[in-house]
């Protein structure tokens, strides 16, 4: 079954697969089709189809190294295609990144935060990184990061990650759950730390920050 992204924009998905495949072949020209299939996370049959298509387009050349071993090398056209796809992908990622940062900036501003505020972030994923950057843009310096049970010496953007059990709610103006879909069990543990509905900030799928447990 195709992902939602593929259903919405099949051409983007195909271009991204081309970029992945060209990059893998550039790194490992002796990779087998099965190895490429595993690395790209797609079916072996689809990998075969993509390779044949790239050969026909002149992006790659197949060399029979031994009777059962093939080498795939990028042609000059293939290198140009890879650079073009990479540039397009980077531009799309940056555009999306800037859009998300702007949304977070707009949603964080009404939370009555200022340079003197002290904030706890629960979460260490990519969304947490954006939340952290949004807080820094509001000139907030007092930021601590928490997980349920972080590994020893776990760090997030250079900062130590603290265990949720050590969170003292009275030390923070806001506790931000940096997850788009918070887990009920985790929310319960945050509540157990004495975090009030006024302190808590959650982000829902519509991108808006809301308080309340």
pLDDT of residue 213: 40
Task: Catalogue all structural domains in the chain, each as residue range(s) with its CATH number.
Answer: 4-96 (1.10.10.10), 112-210 (3.40.50.20)
φ, ψ for residue 128, nearest 5 deg? -65, -35
pLDDT of residue 3: 41
pLDDT of residue 121: 94
Residue 75: half-sphere exposure toward Cβ, Cα within 13 Å: 11
Q: For 31-45, what is each residue's pLDDT tens digit?
A: 889 988 888 888 899
Which pTM does this prediction carry? 0.54
Q: How far apart are CA 38 and CA 174, in angstroms?
A: 43
Edge-to-edge strands, sheet with 209-210: 155-156, 159-163, 142-147, 118-122, 174-177, 200-203, 209-210
Q: For 175-196, what is each residue's pLDDT tens digit?
A: 999 876 677 888 889 999 999 9
pLDDT one digit per residue (tens) for the chain, 213 residues? 344 444 444 445 788 888 889 988 888 888 889 988 888 888 899 999 999 999 999 999 988 877 778 888 899 999 999 998 888 887 777 777 677 677 777 767 777 788 889 999 999 887 888 888 888 888 889 999 999 888 888 899 889 999 999 999 999 999 999 876 677 888 889 999 999 988 988 875 444 455 544
φ, ψ for residue 155, nearest 5 deg? -130, 150
Percent of the chain with pLDDT strictly greater than 90:
27
């Amino acid at each position: 079954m195709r992902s939602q992204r593929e259903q919405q924009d099949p051409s983007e998905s195909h271009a991204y697969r081309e970029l992945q495949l060209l990059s893998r072949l550039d790194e490992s020209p002796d990779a087998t089709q099965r190895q490429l299939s595993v690395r790209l996370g797609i079916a072996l049959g689809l990998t075969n189809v993509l390779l044949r298509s790239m050969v026909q387009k002149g992006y790659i050349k197949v060399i029979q190294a031994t009777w059962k071993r093939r080498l795939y090398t990028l042609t000059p056209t293939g290198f140009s295609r890879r650079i073009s796809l990479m540039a397009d992908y980077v531009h799309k990622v940056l555009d999306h990144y800037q859009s998300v940062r702007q949304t977070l900036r707009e949603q964080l501003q009404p939370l009555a935060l200022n340079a003197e505020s002290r904030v706890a972030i629960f979460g260490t994923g990519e969304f947490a990184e954006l939340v952290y950057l949004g807080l820094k843009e509001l000139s907030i310096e007092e930021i601590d990061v928490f997980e349920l049970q972080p590994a020893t010496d776990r760090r997030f953007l250079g900062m130590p990650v603290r265990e949720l059990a050590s969170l003292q709610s009275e030390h923070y103006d806001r506790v931000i759950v940096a997850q788009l879909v918070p887990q009920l069990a985790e929310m319960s543990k945050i509540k157990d730390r004495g975090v009030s509905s006024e302190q808590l900030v959650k982000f829902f799928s519509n991108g808006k920050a809301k308080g309340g447990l």
